[in-house]
Structure 1
Amino acid sequence: MSFEIINSPILATIQDKGRFGFSFLGVSNSGCSDEFAYFWANKLLKNSLDTNILEISFSNFIIEANKDTQLSITGADCEFFINEQSKEIWQSYNIKKGDIIKIGKILSGNLVYLAVLGGFDIKKEFGSNSTTIKEKLGGLDGDKLKKGDILPYKNRVCNYTMRLKKEFIPNYEENLTLRVVFSYQEEYFSKEEKNKFLNSSYFVTNEFNKMAYKLKGTPIKCQIDGIISEAIAFGSVQIPKDGQPIVLLKQRQTIGGYPKIGVVLNIDCFKLSQARTNTKIRFKEISYEEALDKSKSFSKSFFESSADLKNS
């Protein structure tokens, strides 16, 4: 029982929630970039919320099912087809043997998520199926998916489908406000520079990927040029010598030597991963306590959100 990839996708990988506890070996966390879309793709199938999934960048991804199953599609607004028939995303579908599933043009956002009932039946490395290409870990042989690859799954079927209510589906075209906790080397940024950071508009450059987003706008000055390399948290905001902020995401390096002004709230990093070039970014300060509360509420919501689903 499996899907077979029948075209040559530009970039599609297998991801799950990530790989934790191995940073001391230089192994990055990796994992799905947009956890909101990832969790909902699994929840639509009643999968465990750490089940592996496909993370698809760019247009034109085509697979064929060789056994009945059920799948769900979430994430970036895209053209989605089953046997050339246009379908809506943010819902689940029953799939029959021989069905052709296609992700066409991505209309807004960056990343589409495709989940299968029960997940893909592949071996974990360092406790995760997440693909990290630069480290050759996870997925199928530690690499992006290619034509002819086989994605095995167990023979599981379901007699109903689900969809997410429209009011809960995100709009990836909006300008973003990223909430940030000042931390790390904040004492080396003057009050004036912090205010400049919070009151300036930045724009997403074309230099972004799963590792980081580089922004462009009013330069921020730090009183020091560098630091002894130290561990880097998800959402850390580095300020290199040119003063342009870099927000570090799931496949960030494990250590780094640029000064950091603070850390972006994890929930907002998920939104940032769907932002395209020239998206307008503003920063807003929040306290550590507020950030912790919002992060906990986000995680808790996925265990109590059945009312957000509808039978379809």
Structure 2
Amino acid sequence: MSKKHPVIAVTGSSGAGTTTVKKAFEHIFFRLGVKPLMIEGDSYFRYTLREMQARIAQAQKEGKNFSHFSIEANLLDELEQTFRTYGETGAAKRRYYIRSEEEGNKLGYPVGTFSPWEEVPPGTDLMFYEGLHGAIKTETIDVARFTDLLVGVVPIVNLEWIQKIHRDNALYGYKPEDTTEVILRRMEDYVKVITPQFSRTDINFQRVPLVDTSNPFIARDIPTPDESIVIIRFRDPRKFDIDFGYLLAMIHKSFMSRHNSIVIPGGKMGLAMEIIFRPIIERLMEERATT
């Protein structure tokens, strides 16, 4: 953790909705005039798309599971080093994983490969990471301890699967059965690698649908925000001086479900993020200015 160079990380599974949260933070950064260094979790994949496909095929022959959720499939030691170095110096290296032809044409590299590592320009106010492993901790790696704010995005699992199936089809043209196969292959790593992180996050956003999602693999559409509620859990409300009375007054139809959890209508999630995160970022910037 660093007052001079804060690190914010948003972590969640593929299809969880971390990109939506990222956009909310981007809006807050813009309004406050904060210049962030944006880091994508995909850039810490260990393998290119072709290499990953070969690793998965080999693991399947051996009766094993292997996925981008896996510890071994990522450069997590380098991710930890990036968080630590930025916190200490405000400097870091960055690269991009090319996910689409549009990105490839823009950056000049084939889909499924990486751009070279480059030093990021100086002068950023904070680092913002969005990806799969922002709160990862193993026997040798502890990424979470180098963060100043950790946010988890954790929809109910059936909703998460619906979102992933629809997203993969819309963005990459994957058939539902192909995405279902990926979900099954990732399940062991989801349980062992992804879910433990949400016990380390400072704030979790868990979206719960209010419509039937009992068979996510045949769902024709994603439940809308107004067909959902969102549970916001604060691991330690004192850390960020969370005023639950103020939140309840500002967010219509919200209520407390536990001493550290507030439930809000799904359509109010953006408002809740503005109310919760803006003062946290303002405080981080004030502390940075006085350090």
Q: TM-score, normalised on structure 2? A: 0.31
Higher relative contact order (CA 8 A, sep 6+): 2
Greater fraction of residues in strand: 1
The TM-score, its normalising length taken from structure 1, stands at 0.29
